[in-house]
Amino acid sequence: MELILEMNKYAKYIRNKLSNQELLEQLAEECNEFAQASLKMIRAGGMSANITPITRREAYDNFIEEQNDVVSVLWVLTCDERYAYIDEYPKYERWAKRLGYKETGGVEG
């Protein structure tokens, strides 16, 4: 877990604030959303008789967003360099602030 030093301040805060169990719970939730986005891609792509009102582009955009959400949690959970490319994902700031992160006068967290 040495790569935690290279994480952005929001991802570090999340990593230090949440337990592995809580991060795994978040990962499970994001995986579920990714699975739903995958199914929606099938429907929007005309690969199913059960059509959906969203466009292929909307389905694809949601698919990519959910994929990034899964990878963002994997980065915080594992600190594995394979996921480091996601470090600048904007979700970290929103997530950290929901968990209580505050920036005040140069003092973070």
* Per-residue model confidence as pLDDT tens digits over 73-89: 999 999 999 999 999 99
- Residue 107: is its pLDDT beyond 90? no
Vertex 97, ends 92 and 98: CA angle to 5°? 100
User: How confident is the model over 23-56, as pLDDT tens digits?
Assistant: 999 999 999 999 999 999 999 999 999 999 999 9
CB–CB of 15/79 below 8 Å? yes
- Amino acid identity, position 72: S
| CA–CA gap between residue 4 and residue 77 (Å, rounded) | 10
